[in-house]
Amino acid sequence: MADFDMRARQLIQRWKEDPNATYQSWFLWDERLKNFRSIRRGLAQVVDAIEDGSFGVAYRGSSLETVVHSIAEQRQIFKGADHAFLWKPKLRIPDIYENPVNQRAFGQLLHHCACCDTAEEVVAGIHEIDALKIKGLGPAVANLLYFLHPTLVPPFNTAIVNGFNKLTGAKVKLGSWQHFLAMRSGMLDLNEQFRDLLSNDLGAIGGLLFDIGSGRYPAPPRDDVDEKPGNWIARLEQARIEAAALNKPLAKQGESDRTHSEIQAWLRDLGHALGYDVWIAANDRSRLHDGRRLGEGCLTSLPETITTSRGGDAIRLIDVLWLDQGAATVAAAFEVEHSTSIYSGIVRMLDLALSGSDLHASAGLYLVAPDAREAEVRAQVSRPAFSRIADLEIAYLSYGELERHKDAISRFGSGLKAIKSIARPLP
């Protein structure tokens, strides 16, 4: 192992000094960081286009073509990066253009990875897209994720795979997300071993493997390397175990998100039926329920008197607000607490009620939660930290009561009278 370490270090040093190798020609390229920023903005536009339904059913002319083209121009390491995203009409792949469900899943992966900041969250997003088995949508997507998280996701192409296999004796396959994750694990180990010569940015180790895989540099002999085929199999098996372990939590989280979104949709539709303007939390408006964005048909901005109030930033994150039509008065506020702590929801309610404006001082405040959580909700509300709750008349509205009565309230109700009748006072 010591001999390999020495030879590898010599190789990396020569590689870094070569003006034509990827380290100097791309990794240290002055324009590289500028490209990161523009590519990230481009990916945000892809997500927005998918969420608002304007992406279309073709790659050519789409926002995705623009951003992938800019990645493909990132000098030799990303040459051909657009091939994986080009529409192959005979095979009908990648299946994210004509299939709206797959398209939204792809957009949600980009959005998820743009918003998270840990390796565990990124890997979970990869496992989730892999579980959908979208035809033709494989690890080439890692080239997009690299520009979102260069310290967490390495770039990916045929030459990098070949370089990794030559250097380690592994047998990475191109089209498998699990093989990619196993390779990522090995690349992280290599990067840690030679970190003093490389970088936290995985583009450096990716560039090294690219130059080895494309034949510019030979891999050092690995006779005394302990990365035998058995070790590679163990890495791959670990990736499979991680995928299996994440299946249940991801499914549970998906069920949680769907239920939370479903309740928001009930309250949205009920508010409209009762004649209110409806606001959906700013961070939830693009979520989908039954193929429809939660924020569809709702207010796109809150009245200035609310946004400029002392608690304005928190108020805009309340799950659902009903406002008197055409006015700046909040008639009712709903925090949906499906499975997480209700602490933050209560705090947002307090911010609304105590924001210093009489425009929402008389709003009906409701914590909406599963029937089985009533005791937990009451226990939380009874904490000394929330002693002001009793003055605000916050009420508990159970899923069961809402489901049983929402249709009748929509047809025959008016104002908040019916909602108040099915809610129970807190504490």
What is the mean pLDDT of each successive set of 10 residues along the chain, which is 427 residues long? 80 92 90 85 91 88 91 83 88 92 91 86 88 92 95 94 90 90 92 93 96 88 54 61 55 54 93 95 81 88 84 85 89 83 73 64 82 83 68 84 93 89 87
Q: Is 382 helix (H, G, I), strand (E, B) or coil?
A: coil
String of b and e for 250-266 (b: at least 16 CB within 10 Å)?
A: beeeeeebeebbbbbbb
Q: Return d(Cα 253, Cα 340) in angstroms, integer.
A: 11
Query: Vertex 275, ends 274 and 277: CA angle to 5°?
Result: 115
Q: Tell me the pTM.
A: 0.59
Separate counts of helices (H) and strands (E) for the chain: 18, 8
SS3 content of the chain, % helix, strand, coil (to 5): 55, 10, 35
Domain borders along the chain are 2-244, 254-425
- 16's tokens: 């870094």
- 27's tokens: 């990794």
Q: Enumerate the β-bridge partners of residue 293.
A: 288
pLDDT at residue 240, as a whole number: 62
Q: Return d(Cα 12, Cα 220) in angstroms, integer.
A: 10
Burial of 223 (0-12, 13-18, 19+ CB in 10 A): exposed
What are residue 268's phi and psi, to 5 degrees?
-60, -50
Residue 79 per-residue DSSP state:
T
Reported residue count of the chain is 427
pLDDT at residue 250, as a whole number: 46
Helix 119-131 and helix 100-115, axial crossing angle in degrees, nearest 10: 170
Peptide bond into 94 cis (omega under 30): yes
pLDDT at residue 91, as a whole number: 87
- 89's tokens: 């009409």
Q: Return d(Cα 99, Cα 103) in angstroms, integer.
A: 6
Dihedral angle over CA of 87, 88, 90, 93, nearest 10 = -80
Cα radius of gyration rounded to whole Å, the chain: 26
pLDDT digits (tens, 9 = 90+) for 352-371: 877 655 545 567 889 998 88
| Other Cβ atoms closer than 10 A to 43 | 24
